Amino acid sequence: ATRDIITKEIPGISQTMIAKSLAITPMAMISRPVCGIYQQTLIINLPGSSKGCVVRTNVLTSFYMTIFDLCIF
């Protein structure tokens, strides 16, 4: 559903989130996050578990300025 509305997919964010999560749990390999931009909004799919959300949010905050720059056209 996310791929239907985003205008620009950013697979590097998804790949980085999975890589960091794999260091914690092998269950990350079945994750299918989609990250992309719709207009000037960054859309990020997070996992259903609260622990997974924390791990992936920490990944995002480590390079949030770069992500922010991607959303500004």
Q: What is the pLDDT of residues 7-28, one digit of tens each?
A: 999 999 899 999 989 998 898 8
- Confidence class for position 71, pLDDT limits 50, 70, 90: low
pLDDT of residue 72: 64
In CATH terms, the superfamily for domain 2-71 is: MoaB/Mog-like domain (3.40.980.10)
Report the number of secondary-structure helices (H) and strands (E) in the chain: 4, 3
Domain ranges of the chain: 2-71
pLDDT of residue 68: 75
pLDDT in tens, 27-69: 888 988 999 989 888 899 988 888 888 888 888 887 877 777 7
Strand locations in the chain (E): 8-9, 35-38, 41-44
